[in-house]
Amino acid sequence: MKNLFIGSFVDTPQLGKLRIVNDQALLVDEQGNIAGAIDVDEAVSLSDNPQIQTFRVPTGSFLIPTFCDLHLHAPQYLYLGTGLHLPLMEWLNEYAFKAEEKIDDDPEGLGHRVYSSLANRLIRSGTGAALLFGTICEESNLVLAETFQSAGLRGFIGKLSMDKSSRPTYVEASSDASLSAAERFIHRCRDIVKALPANKQFVEPVLTPRFVPTCSDELLSGLGRLASKHGVKIQSHLAEARDQVNWVKLERGVDDIDVFDRSSLLTSRTVQAHCTFLDPSSLVVLHEKGTAIAHCPLSNVYFSSQPFRLREALDLGVNVGLGSDVAGGYTADIMNAMRQAVIASRIRESYRSENEQEIQRTQPLEGSSSQSTNQSTTLAVHWTEALYLATKGGAEALGLSSGSFIPGAAFDAQQISLIDNMSGKGIGQLDFFEPVTNITEDLIEKWWCLGNEQNRTGVWVQGCKLL
Ligand code: GUN
Ligand code: FE
């Protein structure tokens, strides 16, 4: 059955460009892909066709692409919102490894409960695709994959590879054992969906060296070989925190970007989380390699003692999306990550301009600071740019066609309702003092700032309704 969606559509086809189309119709084919936009008069005539199911987006509501979460530790959902007082390396030992081990002790019971709740939470938060870190155990990751597949949610499933650990009971036996498990997982995860048509395949395996401190050089280079042999995606953590960066430098004598690079793990199928300690020259390297970055502004506040150079990464053309970093970030809601990305960037900009003024005050006549030509004039990012990162930026990093409403793209969308048409009142935290008819940029900004789950009245992935 084809679906016809009639109403208002909002997306960000390019960084910083907000597109609002009122009174339009989008035809979605039987495979759940966008066949094309048609005008409303034509749509009304099509709506009598019994082969087409018509869905009218109510006045005061709009469709917008679903969010992508580019970095989320699924087992850590178990203890979301606890224990964030420690620095990263201590936190991993005290909380993360223990929680993951607990899931691995009971994949079918506790694992299934945690992963089902997570899938549910993501759907209600408007997230249609997530790049996930799991645990070291194959079985738990298969439960995670099956849970996302049966929820109809796009899950990129990372069975962790770690042959070194501070926790003796949570580590793989050797680099060889770790590599065999990683390769087996690729096959077993692909087996879950292999009998299904392409448009019903929602999960895929991702090679996931946890981060450099937990992986030997043999493991990392073996994973690099596996990635190219099987054409799979790769994810890890890169240059995240002061204690982690120092650890790698002390142990390996080089930075972790060099360790990943010499193991062939920086590819155009790689997403690296954080990258807070990368300077612009390393961001250039990522751009050249086509490696994307999962920016996790909330977790950065806890674990990274400096913010990510978001504006510089965008100016250099690096592909960036947003991640919740559950449970290093205490919310799985990407709307929060969008807001936090803007907040972090604005604080950076404030520091920059204050310092510039200070320099001008103390050195009024000398040394006008050198400025590279394609630099933005501000480090702040705009809310429309954050919306791009949460939708199109994330989709591009994952190689998905969705993320904006263009012909041929998968129809991954959420319906946002600003007003209740029965009472005429705003929904959730939204109060309006004038009638809401057409969707305008001001209205979308208000939702972006104040909207929550109550405003989400529909979610579709590949044309299938999940909420
Ligand atoms: N680095 C290695 N493992 C982790 C983890 O579980 N969370 C975060 N935030 N960073 C990590
Ligand atoms: Fe993380």
For residue 358, the model assigns a pLDDT of 85
CA distance 239 to 248: 9
* 2-65+403-465: CATH number: 2.30.40.10
Q: How far is residue 287's CA from residue 313's CA, in Å, rounded to a whole number? A: 8
Distance from the CA of 74 to the center of ligand 1, in angstroms?
Answer: 12
pTM: 0.97
Q: Do the Cβ atoms of 350 and 306 come closer than 8 Å?
A: no
- Topology (CATH level 3) of domain 67-339: TIM Barrel (3.20.20)
Strands 413-417 and 419-420 turn out to be unpaired
CATH 2.30.40.10 placement within the chain? 2-65+403-465
- Strands 233-238 vs 17-28: parallel, antiparallel or unpaired: unpaired
Q: Give 112 Cα–ligand 2 centroid separation in angstroms.
A: 21
In the reported structure, the alpha carbon of residue 449 is separated from the centroid of ligand 1 by a whole-number distance in angstroms of 28
DSSP per-residue string spanning 233-263: EEEEEES--HHHHHHHHHHHSS-HHHHHHHT
Q: Is 294 in the pocket of ligand 1 (CB under 6 A)?
A: no
Q: Report the separation in Å between the CA atom of 58 and the middle of ligand 2, taken as the mean of its atom positions.
A: 39
Is the bond preceding residue 327 a cis peptide, omega within 30 degrees?
yes
pLDDT of residue 370: 43
Q: How far is CA 75 from the centre of its chain?
A: 17
For the CA of 329, the nearest atom of ligand 1: 9
Question: Is residue 274 lining ligand 1, measured as CB closer than 6 Å?
Answer: no
Chain-centroid distance, C-alpha 157: 13
Which pLDDT value is given to residue 196? 98
Ligand that lies nearest to the alpha carbon of residue 299, given by its number in the listed order: 1
Contacts of 119 (CB under 8 A, 6+ apart): 147, 148, 151, 153, 155
209 lines ligand 1 (CB under 6 A): no
Helices (H), 153-255: 175-193, 217-230, 242-252
- pLDDT value at residue 374: 64
Using a 6 Å cutoff on CB, does residue 299 contact ligand 1?
yes
CA distances from 311 to 31, 67, 70, 88, 380 (A): 37, 20, 18, 25, 7
Mean pLDDT by 10 residues, the chain (467 residues): 97 97 97 95 88 96 99 98 93 96 98 98 99 98 98 99 97 98 98 98 99 98 98 98 96 97 98 98 98 98 96 98 98 98 98 90 58 75 98 98 98 98 96 94 98 98 98
The predicted pLDDT at position 373 comes to 47
Among the listed residues 67, 87, 78, 68, the one whose alpha carbon sits nearest the alpha carbon of residue 106: 78
Residue with CA closest to ligand 1 atom 7: 328
Confirm if 20 and 441 have CB atoms less than 8 A apart. yes
Which part of the chain has CATH 3.20.20.140?
A: 67-339
Looking at this protein, which amino acid is placed at residue 61? S
**pLDDT tens track for 421-464:** 999 999 999 999 999 989 999 999 999 999 999 999 999 999 99
Q: Is the CB of 325 under 6 A from ligand 1?
A: yes
Cβ of 100 less than 6 Å from ligand 1: no
> In ligand 1, which atom is closest to the CA atom of 211?
2
How close are the terminal C-alpha atoms of the chain, in Å? 19
Q: Which of 72, 82, 88, when mutated, tests ligand 1's pocket best, judged by the most ligand atoms within 8 Å of its CB? A: 88
Outline where DSSP puts E strands in 341-429. Answer: 413-417, 419-420, 425-426
Residue with CA closest to ligand 1 atom 8:
328
Residues 346, 298: Cα–Cα separation, whole Å = 14
Instruction: Return the structure tokens found at 248.
Output: 């790698």
pLDDT for position 357: 87
How many angstroms does the Cα of residue 92 sit away from the middle of ligand 1? Answer: 7
| pLDDT, position 47 | 81
Residue found under tokens 């155990």: 137
Summarised one tens digit per residue, pLDDT across range 92-130 is: 999 999 999 999 999 999 999 999 999 999 999 999 999
248 lines ligand 1 (CB under 6 A): no
